Amino acid sequence: MTWRVDKLTLLILFSLGTACTPEPTEIEIPFTVLYNGKPLGCDMPVEAVSMTDLRFYVYDLRLLGRANDDTSIALQPDEFWQNETVALLDFENGQGACINGSERTNTVVRGRHAPAESRGIAFRIGVPAHLNHEDALVASPPLNFTDMHWHWATGYKFLRAGVETADDGFWMHLGSSLCEGTVGNIKGCRAPNRPEVTLPDFTPGQDRITIDLADLFADVELGDSAASDCSSGPAEVACIAPFGALGIDFDSGKTLRSASPFRSERIE
């Protein structure tokens, strides 16, 4: 028997199929910076501690499914802070202690996802390996911020963060290390140094994500009047403590656990 399907039947079948496809859900994920649970800014110190910098890339965002069936969040490109793969969050405004910053800020990630029941959110901090060694001078936003790039084999600075007191301070630039090859021909990095954040209690539309710099720098000495720093180098012992807070094994660069300075907080 030969089956014949006319154009009207095909149109009906197509309409039924598309009608059953749910529209994607838009999502906004707000972030804020704290110090010991209190709002912190470039010109808003907490406990005599000022923020000197905070910028970081995020990617691989997903809602956590209740049956281990995570739902990917597709980023909405905006030609400045986000492309379809990675977003840049920037909390410094160039004021106060943030003398190396710029006026524009971005504290929200925007995207879409398929409708799904979720119990939380997860994401990675950094730039994916296949994009990490682009030339920031010609890359498209948000990978064109030259302050977020080392301009050598290491690639992008995944996170820039810093605090200071009246006579002390600490800053860190997080990125991959032990990279092999030359600029434009990188074969890989033995220490990826990409933290992962998992927040099982995050509810879209009700919660925001906080990063507490007191937790990130909890084991950094800010009272010895000797400013120090961490540039993710394999010999920099000053990196051990903040790497641990970010859940990264300092020797291997592998992710061991969720980055503890990040938490979910209900929006009041």
Q: Kindly list the averaged pLDDT for each block of 10 residues, start to end, along the chain of length 268.
A: 50 49 90 98 95 98 88 96 98 95 96 88 97 93 96 93 96 96 86 97 96 97 92 94 97 97 96
Cis peptide before 261 (omega within 30 of 0): no
What pLDDT, on a 0 to 100 scale, did the predictor assign at position 18?
Answer: 46
Domain ranges of the chain: 25-266
What pLDDT, on a 0 to 100 scale, did the predictor assign at position 1?
Answer: 42
What pLDDT, on a 0 to 100 scale, did the predictor assign at position 8?
Answer: 54
9: Cβ–Cβ under 8 A, 6 or more apart, which residues? none
Q: What is the pTM of this model?
A: 0.91
What pLDDT, on a 0 to 100 scale, did the predictor assign at position 183?
Answer: 77
